[in-house]
Chain A
Amino acid sequence: MFNRPRIIPVLLIDDRDLIKTINFKKPTYLGDPVNALKIFNRKGIDEMAVLDISASKKGIEPDFELLTDMASEAFMPLSYGGGIKTLEQVRKLLAIGYEKVVLNTSLVEDEHLVRDAVALAGSQSVVASIDAKLVKGQYKCVICDGTKVIDMTPVELAKHAAELGVGEIFLNSIDRDGMMTGYDTDLINQVVNAVDIPVTACGGAGSISDLKDALVNGHAHAAAGGSMFVYYGRLKAVLITAPTEQELTEAGIYTE
């Protein structure tokens, strides 16, 4: 059977700029998010995630004007996360062309919103984003864009999110963010084994073999990444890039 795991570039937005972080900190300016999405679209990318780190931090609404411009360039599935606080915002995101909304802080602070979003859009359209970080040797979850550590492990939060009805987990390793040294497959396995819904792994991707590692050894259902899709070479020159169909097939990621 045709098997094409989803490979998902993540675009991070901070105040209308395309940026990339390291360990959720040190944002580096990369360019214009609309243009970046246009280039990814031209490359025929399978799926994209757009995450706005300023909306949640500043407690402001998603930037619908920018998001509408971005969606109009994208003929692939799109998800959006950042600053979503109301059902009306969920409805609006779906209407302008995002088929999935990504919720993080509300998983613990506003469960009603999660349940209502699932009832409105169906579980396949609601993604729980789990930001995990090692604290004294133990995985803990962090909310509010990495600023607030809560007393829950990623496994506990994933189970909780699945009970709320979400259709997918987006699992981010803060420790690996921007490092390009490979995924944390222990963390991925723990979460994959804890829930029945698909898990997208993020954090640490630096190469095609890293993507394969997350899928084969981490048993993730999809592999997401940031740096490897926006940087090129040892000196990290800014370049929108993505593995080709042929490279992914040769690596054994796409199979028949």
Chain B
Amino acid sequence: MLVSVTGVGLRETMVAIINYGLGNLGSIANMLKVIGEKSVITADPEKIKAADRIILPGVGAFDAGMSKLNESGVVDVIKEQANAGKPILGICLGMQLLGNASEEGELPGLGLIDFSCKRFDIPAEMNLKVPHMGWDIVEFKKDVPLIDGIEGRQRYYFVHTYHAVCNNSEDVMMTCDYGYEFACAVNKGNVYGVQFHPEKSHDFGMRLFENFCKKC
């Protein structure tokens, strides 16, 4: 996307995909490329600061993710940039790390949105397997730039064992039903998190990335 900056002319915006050793970085970069966005896969605080938007990916266990984030030395810059208003999108474990904590681990999360994660607790008679794996439909709960203009039934690819529980209902961006209704996407101001994988959800996911890069 091209942005006009007074006196400088046109410049391309840049998305920093945070590389802390976990997650589907290649797929995210591929999808951004298809929609014409420049991205950099990095753990360099300077590059993160210089970027216009931040994507925090991640797969795996909560403590492993949080330790790797700490080791990579990017925790402070993520918090600082998020608090300064830069759009940030957490994906899967990256979403979970935006919260306060998780039943899965001991370490505190980034605390950018007030939620914690708990394990699916589905009545046995419903005969549903955990992890929640596969495509599922979602319900939008909040009118935010990330989903602006997206209409009709949306489905995304999920793989997770833990899910967010928001302390403030206004932070719930989308819900999904698996055994019961849970928050599958969260938002507070410029900070967004999605439990599912937009980078693996065909056009449904591509539209979210487009909105993230053009409207957020």
Contacts and interface: CB of A to CB of B under 8 A. Distances in A.
Interface string B1-44: 00000000000000000000000111100110010000000000
Contact of B199 (A4, A44, A46, A75): A75
Contacts of A235: none
B25 A122 contact: no
Given A2-B177, A6-B134, A97 B129 contact: no
A232 to B, nearest CB: 23
A167 B159 CA distance: 11
Nearest to A41: B202
A77 B61 contact: no
B27, B60, B161, B200: most-surrounded residue (chain A CB, <10 A): B27
Contacts of A44: 202-203
Nearest to B205: A75
B206 A75 contact: yes
A76 B30 contact: no
Interface string B105-146: 000000000000000000000000101011111000000000
B53 interface: no
Contacts of A76: 157, 200-202
Given A4-B136, A76-B200, A124-B159, A97 B59 contact: no
Interface string B175-207: 001100000000000000000010111110110
A38 to B, nearest CB: 12
A168 B134 CA distance: 12
Contacts, number: 79
A1 B27 contact: no
B4 to A, nearest CB: 30
A170 to B, nearest CB: 13
A99 interface: yes
A214 to B, nearest CB: 16
A44 B205 CA distance: 12
Given A77-B200, A121-B60, A95 B25 contact: yes
B139 to A, nearest CB: 11
Given A75-B199, A99-B197, 9 more contacts: A5-B134, A75-B31, A75-B34, A76-B157, A76-B200, A97-B24, A97-B30, A124-B161, A198-B133
Interface of A: 1-2, 4-6, 41, 44, 46-47, 68, 71-72, 75-78, 94-97, 99, 120-122, 124-125, 167-168, 196-198, 221-222
